Every structure is written in structure tokens, then in C-alpha cells.
Amino acid sequence: MEQVRPLASDVEAAVRAAMEAVLPPEASAADPLIRRSEHADYQANVALSLAKRMKSNPRELAGTLRDQLTDVEWIEAVEVSGPGFLNITLSDTALLDRLTTRANDDRLGVPRSQAAETAVIDYSGPNVAKEMHVGHLRSTLIGDALARVLGFLGARVVRQNHVGDWGTQFGMLIQYLREHPEAAWRDRDVDSSGTAGAVSALDALYRTARSEFDADAAFKERAQRRVVALQTGDEETVAAWQEIVAESEKAFQRIYERLGVLLTQDDVMGESFYNPWLQEIVDELREKGVLEDSEGAKVVFFDDIRGPEDKPVPMLVQKSDGGFGYAATDLATIRHSIRTFDGTRLVYVVDARQSQHFDMVFQAARRAGWLADDVQAVHAANGTINGPDGRPFKTRAGGTVRLADLLDDALERAREVIAEKDPDLSPEELENVAHSASIGAVKYAELSTSRTRDYSFDVTRMVSFNGQTGVYLQYTHTRIASILRRAQEAGHGRGTFHRDLALLPAERELVLVLDEFSAVLVAVAQTLEPHQLANYLYTLAKAFTTFYESCPVLKADVPTDVRDNRLALCDLTRSTLARGLALLGIAALERM
């Protein structure tokens, strides 16, 4: 495997060397401020920021640096522009050489930058006896993309699905089911989308049980006794609970399979898994002086976490009735991730509304010594998905929107759009393509949004061949695949780079974008923001489209070396796009 430095890093190093040659030491340590530019391949803005500090003329300073840089063999031209920008253009040979190295490596020259890391990624976390709803989509897709990217960059990735499988609500539900044997939830057939069935029945029954609990004091008492029975391990009650959990997990798994995410049954590490350690967590917190008593409950206070009127907000670890809180379980997840998996970075991909919870949990875990300084704990927070009108997403009846229904909508729309674009597809092909396109569309819409921002779930916009969509990227991939197929048929092979060719502007642009791939992945690993990769792939697809419009590949009058070179560009674009899409969990298709 060959690790390839991005060209931008080489440019940065060259500017740094020029600075060291001509500037006093304190000034030469400044950031060269390299960026891509419309006027050249790269622009260095360091002269502007330095001149201010050194009280010198920025254009003059830029000129001095330029004189140094013109000696660099792989730099074609350096110009001073405007108030003191350095416009840097690389030689075509340098660009082509870099691509050759990337193209000859099955990792496309991407470094294993995370090889020292064990990332424990907690994502999805749906709740038992409830259907997965639109709210679980974000964590599921973002967490999955992070698992793929970090894994590709060499990290050991441990996936954790913290399913909500414990709590007083199960006492209520189990009691209700016992009192209503006619509620035949088990016999429900799974519907065509493979998602309704037993769990949607349970979801509805739970709601009925809840209203009975609120309205009928006698039922409330029986339900509370049932909670105790569950907690104390009453055999029959535990069996009923297990059946509900198993049925729910089957339903989650069906959704995961439909979405094509990596989560399996083995990744489920639900709340109940941590029960045996919760008392220990409380005891240890007490011994370490982290825990305080507050009106009978066991809590932790924090200097900097305060509510209205500057009152400190407590983190509830154990309720006054002895029950453990959500926080106790999450403290146990931290201890477990470190002791069992040797996690070096713990990532919780959870709704932004839980940020105070994680802030408290992380701080308490540091104070208790479970989280050492060399372990990073991150709440990779995600915003909310709104309806197409930008308002909170509700069904017409005002209920929460089932994830399965949204996926059905996307599938239906994809079928229409694709049948129109390619009427020759056989019915099976159409079904396959529509499935991949609809899932790709939903994933891309999710992953191209910064995870902290809210966005609107708009199926029509997502499943479109135009604009920044998954379908557009998949389609670009099929176009390149088709060029490469035709080249094979014509006996031209897959192309080769010719380092002496002069490149056209659209070719140069495509080369420069291709070269950014590894830097983008490294950035995603640092920020845990997959949208940087999603946006990059769109830039790449656009650069390819522009290239293909102005640079014919297979036309008869294209000279052989130019054709070879362009084919090699097509091939590398295809593999970069395919790899990038795969890292977002999106299928790269051969035809659509």
C-alpha cells in the first residue's frame, strides 16, 4: 500500500520552505494558508496576514516568496495577484504523477490515519416495543457512515446499539397483555415492506396500556407490581419481556437490512445488559466522593451545569425508590467500552437534545476515573428531521412518522423517476435499481447535511436526477461505468496516464478534485462529520460532468495517448466515487 500526500500538503510544505529561506524565524512559523483557488490551482494567503504583523508591504513580501517558489521543479508558475495573494499553478506532469500513484493503489492512496484508534460507536438505539420512527434515522445513518470511514482509515471499530429495552414501561405493557389475552399481537403478519407486524401491534397496545395506567388507579398499581416482578426476575414476567424484546429486535434487524447498515444482532448492547453493574456504579461514585444525596435520590452536581436562576442541575443516578436512571446506564457503557474494548475514542451518535445528558455523564466519568485523559468521549450530536414543510414531522393524524413508511414513499417515488429515465429496464431490474436508488437517496439527503443542523425530509427532492442528490451521484457512476464498458468493447482497455501530456482546464480541475479524496476522509475522522465526504463526492461528480462535456473520450478523432489518459481519469473517478459512496453506505450501480 502506498500512502499518498495530497498535493495541497506538498504546496504547503513548499511555501513553508520558501518562508523559512527568506523570513526571520518567528515569521516563518506562520500558517501558509493554502486553499484551492479559481485563479490558479492553489492560493497562499500568508503574505497578507504576515505583512500586517511585520508591518511590511504584502505585495513585496509575496514577491519575495514567489522568487523562492519559482525554483521548485514541480511548480509551473507563481504569480502575485491583488493585494498580495500568491497564485500557484502546478505542472501537468506533477498532477499526472500523483494520480498514477493513487490509481495503482487499491486504497487510492488513502492513509491508515486512524490505525492507533479503537472507536466505540454507539448508534441507532431504538426502543423495544416501539416502531423505529424518523427520529432514529439520523443516528443510524450517521453512525454507520462513521463506522465505515473510521474502519477504512484503519481504526478498530466496535459498534454498539444501545437499544432501549428496560424500564417501567415494560411492566405496564406486560400487565396489559396478561389482562387482555385477546390482543393477539404475535399473530400479526409482516407487511410487504417487511416492517409492520408484531411490533406495530405492540406499539399501539403500549399506548392503550399507557392511557389505562393514567386513568385507572387499580391498573396502575398492578402495573407497578409487574415492574417489581420484572426487576426481581420473576420467571414468567421475564419470559414475557424476553419475547417482546426478541420480536422488536427482529423488526429492527429487518429495517437495518433494508437500509443496508452494518448493525447486526451482535451489536445490540441494550440498557438491560448493564443492569448487573448499576449498583457497583453507584457504590464507586459514592466512594470517590462524586455522588450526593438529594431528597432521597443519588445525584451528581457540576459547577458549570446550571439551570434557571443559576441553580445547579443534578444528574440523576438513582431515584429515591431505588430505580436507576438513564445516566447510571450510560456511565456503565463508558466503563464497559474502556474495560472490554480498550476504546480510545467513545462516540455517541445521539440526538442533540441529549447533549446535557452526555456532558454530565462524561464529566462524572472523568471524575470517577473511568474516563482517563487519553480517552476521548464525544457526543456526535444530530439535529431533527422536519416534515417537507419545514415543521416538526407528524403524520396527518398528528402521530410520529414510521421509518418504514418513509422508506416506502421514497421507493415509490424512485420507481417512477427511474422508469421514466430508463424505460427499457426489466421489471426485476427496475425493482433492484429503485430499491438502491431510494435507499441511496435517503442516505445521501441525510449525510449531505451537517449532522447538527435540522433538515426537511422531502422525498421528491431527494429522489431526483438533478441537484445534489444520491441519485445524481449514482447516475454519474453509471455513466462512467458505461464509458469504461464501451472502451473495453472497443479494445481500448482501461487507459493509462501519460505524464508528458498537456492537460486541459477541465482535466486539471478533475485531477485536483480527485487528489483531495484522502484529505477529506481524514477530515471526516477528525470532525465526525460525514457531510464533508458527501459534499466532496458531489464536487467530484460535477467536475467529472464538466470534464466529460468538454473532453471527448471515445470519439474517433481523439489521439490515442489523450484517449488513454482520459480513460484513466474516468477509471480513477469511477473508483473514487464508488469507494466514497460505499463509505456512506450507498450502492454504486452499473446501470440505472
Residue number with CB closer to ligand ARG (339 or 485): 339
Distance CA 326, CA 309 (A): 25
CB of 146 to ligand ARG, least distance (A): 14
Strand-pair category, 315-318 with 297-300:
antiparallel
Beta-carbon neighbour count of residue 228 at 10 Å? 12
The only residue of 40, 51, 223, 350 in contact with ligand ARG, by rule CB under 6 A? 350
Residue number with CB closer to ligand ARG (94 or 163): 163
Residue number with CB closer to ligand ARG (332 or 414): 332
The only residue of 84, 125, 343, 440 in contact with ligand ARG, by rule CB under 6 A? 125
Nearest alpha carbon to residue 135 among 455, 413, 440, 450:
455
Distance CA 280, CA 389 (A): 48
How many residues touch ligand ARG (CB under 6 A)?
9
Residue number with CB closer to ligand ARG (270 or 585): 270
Residue number with CB closer to ligand ARG (41 or 330): 330
Between the CA of residue 360 and those of 143, 284, 297, 550, what are the distances in Å? 22, 17, 16, 56
CB of 169 to ligand ARG, least distance (A): 12
Residue number with CB closer to ligand ARG (350 or 586): 350
DSSP state of 194: S
Q: Which residues pair with 86 in a beta bridge?
A: 44, 80
Using the structure block, give the residue that is written with the C-alpha cell 414475557. Answer: 240
Backbone angles phi, psi at 316, to 5 degrees: -85, 115
What residue number has its CB nearest to ligand ARG?
125
Encoded one letter per residue, x for contact with ligand ARG by CB under 6 A and - for no contact, window 28-47 reads: --------------------
CB of 164 to ligand ARG, least distance (A): 4
**Residue 348 touching ligand ARG (CB under 6 A):** yes
Which 126-145 positions form the footprint of ligand ARG (CB under 6 A)? 127
Residue number with CB closer to ligand ARG (130 or 148): 130
> Which ranges of 393-458 would DSSP assign to H, the alpha helix?
403-421, 427-447
Strand-pair category, 345-348 with 156-160:
unpaired
Burial of 266 (0-12, 13-18, 19+ CB in 10 A): exposed
- For every residue of 341-405, DSSP letters joined together read H--SEEEE--BGGGHHHHHHHHHHHHHTTSS-TTSEEEE--B--EEPTTSSB---TTS-PPBHHH
Residue number with CB closer to ligand ARG (90 or 361): 361
Distance CA 87, CA 135 (A): 46
CB of 105 to ligand ARG, least distance (A): 37
CB of 122 to ligand ARG, least distance (A): 5
Residue number with CB closer to ligand ARG (337 or 436): 337
CB of 573 to ligand ARG, least distance (A): 38
The only residue of 66, 133, 162, 563 in contact with ligand ARG, by rule CB under 6 A? 162
Residue number with CB closer to ligand ARG (212 or 249): 249
CB of 380 to ligand ARG, least distance (A): 11
Distance CA 489, CA 408 (A): 38
532-578-7 Cα angle (round to 5): 55
Stretch of 109-117, 121-129, 518-526, 537-545 lying at the interface with ligand ARG (CB under 6 A): 121-129
CB of 567 to ligand ARG, least distance (A): 48
The only residue of 164, 171, 440, 585 in contact with ligand ARG, by rule CB under 6 A? 164
Nearest alpha carbon to residue 249 among 273, 226, 229:
273
Encoded one letter per residue, x for contact with ligand ARG by CB under 6 A and - for no contact, window 468-507 reads: ----------------------------------------
The only residue of 333, 344, 448, 474 in contact with ligand ARG, by rule CB under 6 A? 333
CB of 379 to ligand ARG, least distance (A): 9
Which 419-458 positions form the footprint of ligand ARG (CB under 6 A)? none
Distance CA 338, CA 335 (A): 5
**Residue 166 touching ligand ARG (CB under 6 A):** no
Nearest alpha carbon to residue 97 among 86, 109, 107, 79:
109
Q: In sequence order, what are the residues at sequence separation of 6 or more whose Cβ sits closer than 8 angstroms to the Cβ of residue 334?
A: 346, 361, 362, 365, 370, 371, 377
Between the CA of residue 386 and those of 171, 192, 379, 401, what are the distances in Å? 32, 26, 22, 10
The only residue of 10, 12, 41, 122 in contact with ligand ARG, by rule CB under 6 A? 122
Q: Which residues pair with 348 in a beta bridge?
A: 122, 379
**Which residue type does 98 have?**
R
Residue number with CB closer to ligand ARG (219 or 326): 326
Which 89-118 positions form the footprint of ligand ARG (CB under 6 A)? none
Beta-carbon neighbour count of residue 380 at 10 Å? 23
CB of 165 to ligand ARG, least distance (A): 9
| Helix or strand (DSSP H, E) at 81 | strand 75-81
Distance CA 90, CA 78 (A): 9
Residue number with CB closer to ligand ARG (254 or 357): 357
Distance CA 296, CA 321 (A): 8
CB of 42 to ligand ARG, least distance (A): 42
Encoded one letter per residue, x for contact with ligand ARG by CB under 6 A and - for no contact, window 535-574 reads: ----------------------------------------
The only residue of 144, 247, 249, 330 in contact with ligand ARG, by rule CB under 6 A? 330
**Residue 382 touching ligand ARG (CB under 6 A):** no
Stretch of 9-17, 120-128, 200-208, 430-438 lying at the interface with ligand ARG (CB under 6 A): 120-128
CB–CB of 48/84 below 8 Å? yes
CB of 162 to ligand ARG, least distance (A): 4
Binding site for ligand ARG (CB under 6 A): 122, 125, 127, 162, 164, 330, 333, 348, 350
